[in-house]
Amino acid sequence: MTDVFTTRIIDVPTGSEETVVDLTGDCEAFLREVSGGRDGLLNVFTPHATAGLAVIETGSGSDDDLLSALRELLPQDDRWRHRHGHPGHGRDHVLPALVPPHATLPVIGGRLELGTWQSVCLVDTNVDNPNRTVRLSFLGG
């Protein structure tokens, strides 16, 4: 069987507030279209220095808890050396060290293999950039 590699960029509006955006539906739709029912890997990547990807539970408060925890770990104040953008923006540039800009996930039979409560989410604390892009790439065989 021939290996298949397909990639696509999606636009994700994030607005002007810190946010966690659930991308699971986008990932599933992409895999339905390109996987052909194959097993493989889905790589999700955001090419931004101030955003990351997390696999977490959403809708029960965990997404808000994540943002609260990030505010405690990375306060929005004047301690940061990176100083362009809104006050405290330097902390947004530290975010990808804690919430990486990539995730690689198993695909079984063309379907994303997540746990019952897991979702693929874009985490964006940068209120200066209301639009993001995410690259979805499927490698299957």
**Which amino acid, 30?**
F
Give the Cα-Cα-Cα angle 58, 44, 22 (nearest 5 degrees).
20
Q: Does 38 have pLDDT greater than 60?
A: yes
Domain that holds residue 24: 4-140
- Residues 115, 120, 10, CA angle at the centre, nearest 5°? 145
Q: What is the pLDDT of residues 18-33, one digit of tens each?
A: 999 999 999 999 999 9
Task: Quote the pLDDT of residue 1.
Answer: 47
Confidence of residue 39 (pLDDT cuts 50, 70, 90): very high
- Would you tell me how many other CB atoms lie within 10 Å of the CB of residue 73? 11
- What sign has the CA pseudo-torsion 31, 131, 85, 75? negative
CA distances in angstroms from 19 to 1, 30, 31, 63, 74, listed in the order given: 41, 23, 25, 8, 15
Dump pLDDT digits (tens) for 86-98.
888 999 999 999 9
**CB-CB contact of 3 with 141 (8 Å):** yes
CB 5 within 8 A of CB 137: yes
Q: Lowest-pLDDT range, 1-10, 20-29, 40-49, 52-61?
A: 1-10
pLDDT value at 15 more than 70 = yes
pLDDT for the residue numbered 2:
62
Q: What is the mean pLDDT of the chain?
A: 95
What's the CATH code of the domain at 67?
Answer: 2.60.120.460
Dump pLDDT digits (tens) for 98-107: 999 999 999 9
pLDDT in tens, 106-137: 999 999 999 999 999 999 999 999 999 999 99
- Cα dihedral 16, 22, 28, 34, rounded to 10, equals 30
Please count the structural domains in the chain.
1
Tokens 């690259």 sit at which residue? 135
- The tokens describing 132, both together, are 């993001």
